[in-house]
Amino acid sequence: MSQRVTDEGVRKDMEEIRNGASSRKHGDTLSHIHRVESPPKQTLFKEIKYSVVETFFPDKPLHKFKDQSFFRVFVLALQSFLPIFEWGRDYNLKKFRGDFISGLTIASLCIPQDIAYAKLANLDPQYALYTSFVTPLVYAFMGSSRDIAIGPVAVVSLLLGTTLSDEISDIKSHEYLRLAFTATFFAGVIQMALGVLRLGFLIDFVSHAAVVGFMTGSSITIALQQLKGLLGIKNFTKKTDIVSVMRSVFSSAHHGWNWETIVIGLSFLVFLLVAKYIGKKNKKLFWVAAISPMISVIVSTFSVYITRADKKGVAIIKHVKKGVNSSSAGEIFFSGKYLGPGIRVGVIAGMVALTEAVAIGRTFAAMKDYPLDGNQEMMAMGAMNIVGSLTSCYVSTGGFSRTAVNNMAGCKTAVSNIVMSMVVLLTLLLITPLFEYTPNAVLASIIIAAVLGLVNIEAIILLWKIDKFDFVACMGALFGVVFINVEIGLLIAVIEKSGQDSEKGFSFLAYSIWTFHYYAGGYIIF
């Protein structure tokens, strides 16, 4: 009965609303029915304007300058461009203590890593040390992340080594070095441009699934490349695909392996992996894993020196140039036949470096619950690579391993990067000659131990369980890197992400055109 009365009441209320009434009471039932106005019709221009604002200026960057004095506008602009002037006001001795300890810790990790990563880029060791001296200083003033530790990383080093050697086969030539500086310069330019033009959303073209596949494939490729140093092979393929690498390894098994090198490499690899396991098992012992690369370098160098194992076929570094960076501003190609390749390699390396840094920065910012300005990060990365290219550095970014160590060591701000930079400077000025007898096998062990952490089997299994299409994108990137090369793996990752999103279909077309012209030998785009 009550249901019937209610239905009748609603019917009558609707009739009265049509006559201008707003509500009516029926017995114990009170109906409140309000007229909802339809939203005003938007013109095409307003819709485009709204989309542009939401895409490029969601944080309203100019809002804080409104109704401010000229001096206040200048201060706010300075703080926006150099965030250190904002958070630096609250800096104190307690924070410096944490930054000092973490800076020393990551320096002990980065120095041996840098020497090893330089080999991936086919450059002399000092250029990686130069990179860990200059670029962290620039980032400390401009970056918005408290945790990222800046320097050369394995994936970008390998990418540069493979792409640059495709252009100039003589990796010891001066032109090769100049091309590396050129690629670094244009990597910085593209990163800076993305930040200034607020185009950070372009990073979304590479999905999490694609990043997992690309990083896993790259780590496998890097580890396989280290078999040359680990086994003491002298004649080794320059290709990075697994088939070429394994063919090169087994073809030299009977005459090209050096047993002294194998003993040194495997011994220190086991030591590094055990130290890494201890640090992972007990977070308070993270420093064991952090200093293990430096211990490996010191012990192996001393052992080779006193036994003169280098006389028995154990390959050593031989020479690390002493002193600080020299200017390389006049070495960059701004014209000529290497300009196009320099731009192309720089854009690819810059995007990979930026993707890795943004992924790391967002992860640790979420863990510590502080804001991370993506566009500011891009400008900071761009500025440090531009400055680096002018001071004999190559492409730099935030590294997974050293950032994790920096966080666990108790860093508070980006000052830890400054401390690390000063330690590297002292190394360049005082102790680089001591690395002369460091065996290449130990550097190979350090790289293998570092990149194994990038193999994320759990994430791949989770992708299979959650989203089969993302799994396909992940495996496409992985197999592209492992069976072809790093460039193709990255290209597959981007194209597959673009194919998932119909609204961003233009990216698929753009990269398809890029691929065609690249393999056709014509650099129309670049």
Residue ranges per structural domain of the chain: 93-230+334-436+451-515
Residue 455 confidence (pLDDT): 85
Q: Give the integer Cα–Cα distance in Å for 69 and 209.
A: 47
- The span from the CA of 458 to the CA of 481, in Å, is 19
**Element holding 163 (H helix, E strand):** helix 154-167
What local confidence, expressed as pLDDT, does residue 497 receive?
55
Residue 387: other Cβ atoms inside 10 A: 19
30: phi then psi, degrees, rounded to nearest 5: -115, 115
Give the per-residue pLDDT at 203.
62
Cα–Cα–Cα angle for 220, 283, 111, rounded to 5 degrees: 55
Distance CA 318, CA 125 (A): 10
What is the reported pLDDT for 6?
52
Instruction: Specify the DSSP class assigned to residue 439.
Output: B
Buried b (16+ CB within 10 A) or exposed e, 315-328: bbbeebeeeebeeb
SS3 content of the chain, % helix, strand, coil (to 5): 75, 5, 25
d(CA 439, CA 101): 29
Of 119, 120, 156, 116, the residue nearest 135 (C-alpha): 156
Kindly report the CA angle at 105 between 100 and 106, in degrees rounded to 5? 105
Q: Mean pLDDT for each consecutive 10-residue tract of the chain (526 residues)?
A: 51 60 47 66 70 63 72 80 88 92 92 92 94 96 92 91 91 94 96 84 66 85 90 84 89 82 93 92 86 93 91 87 91 93 93 85 82 86 96 93 87 94 94 90 92 85 87 87 80 62 41 38 36
Question: Could you give the 3-state DSSP secondary structure of residue 387?
Answer: helix
Which two tokens mark 269? 């690899």
- Sign, CA torsion 176/177/180/181: negative
